[in-house]
Structure 1
Amino acid sequence: MITGDIRNKVDKIWEVFWTGGITNPLAVIEQFTYLLFIKGLDEVEMANEEEKALIGNKFDPIFPDDAQDLRWHKFKEKDPNTMYQIMAEGVFPFIKKLHGNKNSAYAQYMADAMFLIPTPQMLTKIVEGIDKIPMRDRDTKGDLYEYLLSKVATSGTNGQFRTPRHIIEMIVKLMKPTASDVIVDPAAGSAGFLVEAGEYLRQNHNNLFYEKRLNEHFNNTMFYGYDMDRTMLRIGAMNMMLHGVDNPNIDYRDSLSEQNQDHEKYTLVLANPPFKGSLDYDAVSPDLLRVTKTKKTELLFLALFLRMLSKGGRCAVIVPDGVLFGSSKAHKDIRKEIIENHHLKAIISMPSGVFKPYAGVSTGIMIFTKTGTGGTDNVWFYDMKADGFSLDDKRNPIEANDISDIIQRFGHLADEEGRARTEQSFFVPVDEIRENGYDLSINKYKEIEYDEIEYDAPEVILERLRKLEEEILVGISSIEKQLKG
Structure 2
Amino acid sequence: MNAAASDIVAKLWNLCHILRDDGVTYHQYVTELTYLLFLKMMQETDQEDRLVVFKASKKNTEKEQQSGIRWSDLMSCTPLRRLDLYKELLRDYGRNGHGTVQEIYANASTFITKPVTLSKLVEGIDKLDWYSVHREDLGDLYEGLLARNANEKKSGAGQYFTPRELIDSIVAVMKPSLDDVIQDPAAGTSGFLIAANHYLRQHNDFSKLSEAQLEKYRHSTFYGIELVQDAHRLSQMNMLLHGIEGGIQFGDTLAEEGEALPPATLILSNPPFGTKKGGGLPTRGDFTFPTANKQFCFLQHIYLNLKRGGRAAVVLPDNVLFESNIGAEIRKDLMDKCNLHTILRLPAGLFYAQGVRTNVLFFTRGASDKGNTKDVWVYDMRANMPQFNKRTPLTRGHFAEFEAAFGKDPFGLPKNTAKRKDTGEQGRFRKFSREWIAQRGESLDIAWLRDENLSTGDGVPEPAALAREAMTELESAYEELRGILAVLGEDEDLLEVGA
Output the TM-score relative to the length of structure 2. Answer: 0.76
C-alpha separation in 2, matches of 1:205 and 1:242: 19
Structure whose alpha-carbon radius of gyration is higher: 1
Structure ranking higher in helix proportion: 1
What's the CA shift string for 1:336-369, capped at 9, x where partnerless? 112123211111111212225x452111111111
> What residue in structure 2 maps to residue 339 of structure 1?
335
Q: Retained in 2: the 8 A contact 1:386–1:401?
A: no
Secondary structure in structure 2 of the residue aligned to 1:416: coil
Aligned residue pairs, count: 424
Q: Retained in 1: the 8 A contact 2:181–2:264?
A: yes
- What amino acid does structure 2 have at the position aligned with 1:243? H
Comparing both chains, which one has the higher relative contact order based on Cα–Cα distances under 8 Å and sequence gaps of 6 or more? 2
What's the CA shift string for 1:230-259, capped at 9, x where partnerless? 1111111112112221x1322222212345
> What residue in structure 1 maps to residue 392 of structure 2?
396
- More off after superposition, 179-188 vs 395-404: 395-404
1:319–1:62: structure 2 CA closer, same or farther, 3 Å change rule? closer
1:280–1:20: structure 2 CA closer, same or farther, 3 Å change rule? closer
1:68–1:293: structure 2 CA closer, same or farther, 3 Å change rule? closer
> What residue in structure 2 maps to residue 266 of structure 1?
264
User: Hey, which bits of structure 1, 4+ residues long, moved more than 6 A?
Assistant: 66-69
C-alpha separation in 2, matches of 1:367 and 1:200: 18
Q: Retained in 2: the 8 A contact 1:379–1:429?
A: yes
Q: Retained in 1: the 8 A contact 2:91–2:108?
A: no
> What residue in structure 2 maps to residue 424 of structure 1?
428
Within 5 A, what are the aligned runs for 1:125-274?
125-131=120-126, 132-134=128-130, 137-156=134-153, 157-158=155-156, 159-207=158-206, 210-245=209-244, 247-262=245-260, 265-274=263-272
What's the CA shift string for 1:372-394, capped at 9, x where partnerless? 3343222221111489x941554
- What amino acid does structure 2 have at the position aligned with 1:435? Q
C-alpha separation in 1, matches of 2:396 and 2:195: 23
1:78–1:263: structure 2 CA closer, same or farther, 3 Å change rule? closer
C-alpha separation in 1, matches of 2:9 and 2:74: 25
Secondary structure in structure 2 of the residue aligned to 1:239: helix
> What residue in structure 2 maps to residue 437 of structure 1?
441
How far has the Cα of 1:34 moved from its partner? 1.0
Secondary structure in structure 1 of the residue aligned to 2:432: strand
- More off after superposition, 250-259 vs 236-245: 250-259
- What amino acid does structure 2 have at the position aligned with 1:72? W
Q: Retained in 1: the 8 A contact 2:74–2:82?
A: yes
1:399–1:334: structure 2 CA closer, same or farther, 3 Å change rule? closer
Secondary structure in structure 1 of the residue aligned to 2:258: coil
1:332–1:111: structure 2 CA closer, same or farther, 3 Å change rule? closer
Q: Which of 361, 365, 368 is the matching residue for 1:370?
A: 365
> What residue in structure 1 maps to residue 485 of structure 2?
none
What's the CA shift string for 1:52-95, capped at 9, x where partnerless? xxxxxxxx67579x978943245424432354454344x44553
- What amino acid does structure 2 have at the position aligned with 1:28? Y
2:7 matched to 1:5?
Answer: yes
1:171–1:398: structure 2 CA closer, same or farther, 3 Å change rule? closer
> What residue in structure 1 maps to residue 113 of structure 2?
118
Q: Retained in 2: the 8 A contact 1:263–1:309?
A: no
C-alpha separation in 1, matches of 2:180 and 2:253: 20
Secondary structure in structure 1 of the residue aligned to 2:272: coil
Q: Retained in 2: the 8 A contact 1:353–1:391?
A: yes
C-alpha separation in 2, matches of 1:424 and 1:430: 19
1:176–1:114: structure 2 CA closer, same or farther, 3 Å change rule? same
C-alpha separation in 2, matches of 1:63 and 1:439: 55
> What residue in structure 2 maps to residue 304 of structure 1?
301
2:284 matched to 1:321?
Answer: no
Q: Retained in 1: the 8 A contact 2:225–2:249?
A: yes
1:265–1:398: structure 2 CA closer, same or farther, 3 Å change rule? closer
C-alpha separation in 2, matches of 1:162 and 1:386: 24
1:128–1:281: structure 2 CA closer, same or farther, 3 Å change rule? closer
Output the TM-score relative to the length of structure 1. Answer: 0.78
C-alpha separation in 1, matches of 2:35 and 2:208: 27
What's the CA shift string for 1:243-294, capped at 9, x where partnerless? 221x132222221234532376111111111223256454443431x2x343
Q: Retained in 1: the 8 A contact 2:51–2:70?
A: no
1:43–1:361: structure 2 CA closer, same or farther, 3 Å change rule? same
2:391 matched to 1:408?
Answer: no
C-alpha separation in 1, matches of 2:79 and 2:184: 42
What's the CA shift string for 1:314-334, capped at 9, x where partnerless? 1111111121122x1212111
Unaligned runs of 5+ in 1: 49-59, 450-485
2:42 matched to 1:41?
Answer: yes
C-alpha separation in 1, matches of 2:444 and 2:204: 35
RMSD in angstroms over aligned alpha carbons? 3.2
C-alpha separation in 1, matches of 2:395 and 2:100: 42
How far has the Cα of 1:192 moved from its partner? 1.3
C-alpha separation in 2, matches of 1:29 and 1:386: 36
1:7–1:342: structure 2 CA closer, same or farther, 3 Å change rule? closer
1:40–1:398: structure 2 CA closer, same or farther, 3 Å change rule? closer
C-alpha separation in 2, matches of 1:323 and 1:62: 45
C-alpha separation in 2, matches of 1:381 and 1:30: 39
1:264–1:336: structure 2 CA closer, same or farther, 3 Å change rule? farther
1:9–1:61: structure 2 CA closer, same or farther, 3 Å change rule? closer
- What amino acid does structure 2 have at the position aligned with 1:384? M
> What residue in structure 1 maps to residue 347 of structure 2?
351
How far has the Cα of 1:96 moved from its partner? 4.1
C-alpha separation in 2, matches of 1:352 and 1:274: 17
What's the CA shift string for 1:178-210, capped at 9, x where partnerless? 112112211122221111111111111223873
1:153–1:283: structure 2 CA closer, same or farther, 3 Å change rule? same
C-alpha separation in 2, matches of 1:229 and 1:400: 29
C-alpha separation in 1, matches of 2:395 and 2:102: 44
